[in-house]
Structure 1
Amino acid sequence: MSAKATDQDTEKLIKETAMQVFFAEGRFNATTQEIADAAGVNRTLINYYFRSRDKLFEQVFEEAHKQEHELMEKIFYSDLPFKQKIARHLDVAFEQSQKYPYLEIYMVTQVNQGCNLKDHENMEELLKDFYKEIAAEMEKGTIEKMKPEQFALNFISLMSFPISMRPLLQDTMGFSNEEYDTLLSERKEIIMKTLFKQ
């Protein structure tokens, strides 16, 4: 194996470990030493590849957000019927939330602190196309007539609220991780029945 390949493998390992520590375990304040220990590498390697803990955090977060956006685009610009697009998006969101339960919380926190997420223009374009599809479905009678933006808000709220509020809801309602995961897995059918008339 070449030195370059080894470098890429080490960098990837550090990123994957950081994702696990930050967004799966919710340890946003983890030190570079803690990340290095979890990855089984020397702490100086984190500084070598990423210069600082904050740069690593920033890079890992941007990559996670980019992957999420690309996945959304792939679903919404696919040839699937509208209802199947919504169902597929729910599958992906709940799968992601089980893998990284603290990612959405962090995204909300960042936006509240004035951080502008990249791909803003692409998101605006995607939403315009999404609204057109929603309006077409309303004309077909598969969903209730309302402003397309209201349908989008209903969809996002029903899906995202239990994910972004997970720590508080899980603690308040007294659920274990497994019990809450089961609740989330049951939500897809409930959301689909709420959003669609048929």
Structure 2
Amino acid sequence: MAVKDSHTEQQIKDAARKLFFTEGRFKATTQEIADAAGVNRTLVNYYFRSRDLLFDQILQEARTTMDLRLEMAMSAETDFKKKIEHFIDIFMEQSFTYPYLDIYMVTRINEDVERQNQIITDLKKTERLKNFLRDIDTEIKKGTIEKIDPVQFLMNLMSLLSHPVVIQPLFKKLFNYSDKQYRQMMIARKEIILKMLFK
């Protein structure tokens, strides 16, 4: 049996990640992935056994990387508003790199009840969500945030960030925006979001 080469394996993952989450080609075939990676199609199957297993692996890696970065941002010893600013920066950076990742995640979650249950279980197992809601409640008591259910605050934050990412293919066509113009509009949203969430 041939020895697996980590460089080739990474090359295939990078090509698949670009096709799936940067270009939005969720139905890209094993051959298209191989062509993008500059390798033979049999190598894709050799390293990952199937296109779906490859897809699952790069999705998990993308989620894990983002989760770790968000956890670091939210656990930093700084004031709450700075944490939210950092959260927005990380979210936007990922959306610029992988503009179709959120679209895929929403589709997958809606189609896969088992996946929904796993995400809910993961969230319930961590203290991060509870701590975040407690932080929101503290800020409300301090008067930096309007009186609101902490869950509503979280929903507002996520909606203001994720909806423009999910809807971007339509908005780009509707308003004739280039990728650069849409990115600039998203960057400008950071201050708009902060003004909407904080007094």
TM-score (norm 1): 0.92
Counterpart of 1:123, as a letter, is: L
Cross-structure match for 1:87: 85
Matches within 5 A, 1:1-198: 7-115=5-113, 116=115, 118=118, 120-124=120-124, 125-197=127-199
Measured against aligned partners, the alpha-carbon deviations of 1:8-35 in whole angstroms (never above 9, x if no partner) come to 1111111111110100011111111111
Counterpart of 1:144, as a letter, is: E
Counterpart of 2:74, as a letter, is: F
Alpha-carbon offset, residue 119 of structure 1? 5.4
In structure 2, distance between residues paired with 1:121 and 1:75: 22
Alpha-carbon offset, residue 59 of structure 1? 1.1
Alpha-carbon offset, residue 120 of structure 1? 3.7
CA root-mean-square deviation:
1.6
Deviates more, 1:34-43 or 1:65-74: 65-74
In structure 2, distance between residues paired with 1:11 and 1:82: 40
In structure 2, distance between residues paired with 1:93 and 1:195: 16
Secondary structure at 2:5 match in 1: helix
Deviates more, 1:71-80 or 1:135-144: 71-80
Tell me how many residue pairs correspond in the alignment. 194
Counterpart of 1:156, as a letter, is: M
**Structure 1: 4+ residue segments shifted above 2 A:** 117-125
Deviates more, 1:170-179 or 1:43-52: 170-179
Alpha-carbon offset, residue 122 of structure 1? 4.2
In structure 2, distance between residues paired with 1:67 and 1:178: 25
Counterpart of 2:92, as a letter, is: F
- Give % identity: 48
Deviates more, 1:15-24 or 1:110-119: 110-119
Counterpart of 1:28, as a letter, is: F
TM-score (norm 2): 0.91
Alpha-carbon offset, residue 127 of structure 1? 1.4
